[in-house]
C-alpha cells in the first residue's frame, strides 16, 4: 500500500486531525480507485470532492460534450470548456485541483459490452447519470462484480442518495437498486432534466452527499446509507430517510438489453419525416399542421411556429386535437430532440386513431443544426 508523502500530510491536515479518520483512513483514500459514470450535474461535485479528498485513482466515463445549458448546474466546467468532451475537461480540472491523484478520462458510452471491464479494477462505482438504462446497467454490473454502488438522482427540486450492494460483516450484501425499483417506470413518465427542469444547486447538494458516502465507504469510517434511501426536497428544506428491505425475489445473473428493458415499446416504428422534408413542405406551401409538444418555457426560447400543446397536457386537450383532426391535413409533431414527440405520435395514432401524423426526426435541435442555424435552442 502506497504511503502518504510530506506534501500530502500537509494537504490533508484537516482530515488527519479528524477523530476516527486520521492517517489510516487518508491512506485508504490514496490507494482507492473509483469509477464515476457521468460527469454532468451529479458528477461535477462528486469529482471535485473526491479529488480534493485525495482519492488516488478516478476513472471518468462520459461521451457527452459541454453545452452552454450545462453551466447552470455543472459547476465543474466553465464557458471556456464549451464543446469539449466532459470526461476530458473533468480530468484536466481535477488533476489541476490535486496533483497527487490520477484522473483517467474514458470518452465512450457505458454499455453492457464494457461495463464489467470498467468496473473490475475499481473499489466502488458512483452513478452520476440521468437515465434508467444506465442506472440498471450500473447496478447489475456492480452486483455481478461484487462492488458497492453510490446512487444519486435529481428531478426538479428533489434528490435521492443511497449506497447499494455494500458488503456487510456477516458476509451478505445490502440492498441494490432493483430492491428499490424492480422494474422501470414507463418512459413517458420520466422526463429528463431538459424536459422537467432542475434547480441549479440541487445536483451540487446531492452529488456532494454521494461523494461523502463514497469517502466513508472507501475510508472505512462512519455509517453509510446501507439499506437506506435519503430523500431531500430543496423547495422545503425537508428530508427523510427511508428503510430499504431486500427483495428475496430479485436475482441478477447476467447483463441484459437495458434499452429494451426500460422501454418495451422501443420496437414500435413511429411514422416520421426529416427536417429536410418539413423544410421542403414549407417551401412548396404543402398544407400541414405543426404541433410543438415541448413546455411553455422551451417554446418561448425558440419555436418553429407550431401550435404549443405540451406533452404533459396533451391527453387533457382532446377537444383541441379533434379540431385539428377535422382539418384533414398531415400533422407533424416535434419536441426538442424527437423523444417526446414520438410518444405523442404513438398516442395520437393508437389511442385517438389519427392518420397522417408524423414525428419530426431530431426535433428542433436537428432543425437548428440543418435548416436554421441562427435558431438558439437549449
What are the catalytic residues?
193, 335
Give backbone dihedrals phi and psi of 258, rounded to 5 degrees, phi first.
Answer: -75, -25
Q: How many CB atoms lie within 10 A of CB 102?
A: 13
Residue 177's nearest CA partner among 147, 204, 207, 201 is: 147
DSSP 156: B
Q: Which residues, 6+ apart, have CB-to-CB distance to 134 below 8 Å?
A: 37, 38, 110, 127, 258
In this structure, are residues 250 and 183 in contact, taking their beta carbons and an 8 Å threshold?
no
Q: Give, to the nearest 10 degrees, the angle between helix 275-284 and helix 363-370.
A: 70
Q: Whats the size of the chain, residue-wise?
A: 378
CA distances for 213 relative to 74, 154, 216, angstroms: 20, 17, 5
Rounded to an integer, what distance in angstroms lies between the CA atom of residue 351 and that of residue 354? 8
Q: What is the dihedral of CA 117, 122, 126, 128, to 10 degrees?
A: -40
In this structure, are residues 304 and 292 in contact, taking their beta carbons and an 8 Å threshold?
yes
CA distances for 251 relative to 117, 143, 213, 331, angstroms: 21, 10, 25, 45
Q: Which residues, 6+ apart, have CB-to-CB distance to 376 below 8 Å?
A: 301, 302, 368
Q: How many CA atoms lie within 13 A of 212 on its CB side?
A: 14
Amino acid at each position: 500500500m502506497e504511503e502518504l508523502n510530506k506534501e500530502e500530510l500537509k494537504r490533508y491536515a484537516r482530515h488527519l486531525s479528524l477523530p476516527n479518520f486520521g492517517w489510516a483512513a487518508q491512506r485508504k483514500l490514496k490507494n482507492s480507485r473509483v469509477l464515476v459514470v457521468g460527469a454532468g450535474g451529479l458528477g461535477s461535485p462528486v469529482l471535485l470532492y473526491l479529488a480534493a479528498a485525495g482519492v488516488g485513482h478516478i476513472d471518468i466515463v462520459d461521451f457527452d460534450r459541454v453545452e452552454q445549458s450545462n453551466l447552470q448546474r455543472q459547476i465543474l466546467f466553465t464557458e471556456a470548456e464549451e464543446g469539449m468532451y466532459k470526461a476530458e475537461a473533468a480530468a484536466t480540472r481535477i488533476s489541476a485541483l490535486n496533483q497527487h491523484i490520477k484522473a483517467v478520462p474514458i470518452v465512450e458510452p457505458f454499455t453492457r459490452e464494457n461495463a464489467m471491464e470498467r468496473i473490475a479494477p475499481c473499489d466502488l462505482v458512483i452513478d452520476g447519470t440521468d437515465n434508467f438504462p444506465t442506472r440498471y446497467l450500473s447496478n447489475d454490473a456492480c452486483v455481478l462484480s461484487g462492488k458497492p454502488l453510490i446512487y444519486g438522482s435529481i428531478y426538479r427540486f428533489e434528490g435521492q442518495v443511497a449506497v447499494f450492494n455494500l458488503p456487510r460483516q456477516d458476509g451478505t450484501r445490502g440492498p441494490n437498486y432493483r430492491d428499490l425499483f424492480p422494474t422501470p417506470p414507463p418512459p413517458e413518465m420520466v422526463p429528463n432534466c431538459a424536459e422537467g427542469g432542475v434547480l441549479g444547486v440541487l445536483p451540487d447538494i446531492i452529488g456532494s452527499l454521494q461523494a461523502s458516502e463514497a469517502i466513508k465507504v472507501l475510508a472505512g469510517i462512519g455509517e453509510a446509507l446501507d439499506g437506506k434511501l435519503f430523500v431531500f426536497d430543496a423547495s422545503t428544506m425537508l428530508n427523510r430517510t427511508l428503510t430499504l428491505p431486500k427483495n428475496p425475489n430479485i436475482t441478477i445473473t447476467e447483463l441484459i438489453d437495458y434499452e429494451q428493458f426500460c422501454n418495451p415499446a422501443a420496437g414500435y416504428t413511429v411514422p416520421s419525416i426529416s427536417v429536410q422534408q418539413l423544410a421542403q413542405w414549407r417551401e412548396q406551401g404543402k398544407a400541414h399542421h405543426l404541433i410543438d409538444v415541448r413546455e411553455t418555457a422551451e417554446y418561448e426560447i425558440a419555436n418553429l411556429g407550431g401550435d404549443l400543446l405540451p406533452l404533459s397536457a396533451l391527453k387533457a386537450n382532446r377537444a383541441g386535437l379533434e379540431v385539428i383532426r377535422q382539418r384533414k391535413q398531415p400533422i407533424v409533431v416535434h419536441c426538442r430532440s424527437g423523444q417526446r414527440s414520438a410518444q405523442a405520435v404513438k398516442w395520437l395514432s393508437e389511442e385517438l386513431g389519427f392518420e397522417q401524423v408524423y414525428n419530426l426526426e431530431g426535433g428542433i435541435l436537428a432543425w437548428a443544426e440543418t435548416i436554421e442555424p441562427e435558431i438558439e435552442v437549449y
